[in-house]
Chain A
C-alpha cells in the first residue's frame, strides 16, 4: 500500500514569515494529493489539493507543488497569521482511499 512520510513534525514560525511542509510518497500510481488542516477537536478541513497532471497550484496565501519524478510534494504558506496555527496533514491517493502523513504541528508566533 501507499506510504506517506511528512516533515517536519513540528514547525514554529514568526507571524508574517513563510512555512513549508514536505511529503514523500511511495506508490508511483498515486495521482491525487490533498492537504488538510485540523484544529483541536475538529475534523480535517480540505485546504488545497493537486492532481498528478499539474505541477503547482496556488490559492491566495497557500500553494502546493508536486514533483512526480521524485515522488514528493510540498505545502507553502506565505505571510503566516495566528489563525494558521493548526496540524496540517498531507495525503496521497490513487483510488478512493487516502493515505495520510503523520502531520505537522504549525505554531505561528505573534
Chain B
C-alpha cells in the first residue's frame, strides 16, 4: 500500500495528557498537510509543510499544538495538555503538485 498512513488510528486520553500522532506521506510527495475534522463538518486546515519547512499554521493551531517534519519525510503532530475540545479526527494529507491532496485514514482522538 503506497497511500498516506497514520498512526495510531484511535487514541483515548485523559484531559491534561500529551499525545503525539504520526503521518507517513506518499513517498515522493514533498508537501504535507494536517487537518482537523469534527463530527458533521468538513476538514479544517491546521498546518502545512513543504519538505521540512513549516510554511503556515492556522489560528486554530494554539500554542499547545506543535508539528514537525524532520528530514522532509514523516510528520508528527503533538498536542500538549489536551482538552475535551481537542476531541476530533486528525487527518494528514500529502501532495506532489500542491493541487491534488491525498488523505490518510486519520487518527480519531477522544479526550475524556
> A42's closest neighbor in chain B, by CB?
B105
Total interface residues on B, CB under 8 Å, equals 26
Q: Which of A13-21, A43-51, A62-70, A76-84 lies at the interface? A: A43-51
Q: In the complex the two chains form, is B31's CB within 8 Å of A49's CB?
A: no
**A-facing mask of B1-19, CB < 8 A → 1, else 0?**
0001010000000000000
Q: In the complex the two chains form, is A44's CB within 8 Å of B33's CB?
A: no
Q: In the complex the two chains form, is A103's CB within 8 Å of B99's CB?
A: no
CB distance from B75 to the nearest CB of A (A): 15
Q: In the complex the two chains form, is A34's CB within 8 Å of B44's CB?
A: no
Tell whether B25 is near chain A: CB-to-CB under 8 Å: no
Q: In the complex the two chains form, is B103's CB within 8 Å of A102's CB?
A: no
Within 8 Å CB of B42, what residues of A? 4, 6, 89, 91, 100-103
Q: In the complex the two chains form, is A103's CB within 8 Å of B103's CB?
A: no
**A-facing mask of B77-112, CB < 8 A → 1, else 0?**
000000000000001000100111111111000000
Tell whether B43 is near chain A: CB-to-CB under 8 Å: yes
Tell whether A98 is near chain B: CB-to-CB under 8 Å: yes
Q: In the complex the two chains form, is B33's CB within 8 Å of A43's CB?
A: no
Tell whether B41 is near chain A: CB-to-CB under 8 Å: yes
Give the CA-CA distance A48 to B95 in the complex, in Å: 15
Q: In the complex the two chains form, is B48's CB within 8 Å of A97's CB?
A: yes
**A-facing mask of B37-80, CB < 8 A → 1, else 0?**
00011111100101000011000000000000000000000000
Q: Which residues of B contact A (CB under 8 A)?
A: 4, 6, 31, 33, 35, 40-45, 48, 50, 55-56, 91, 95, 98-106
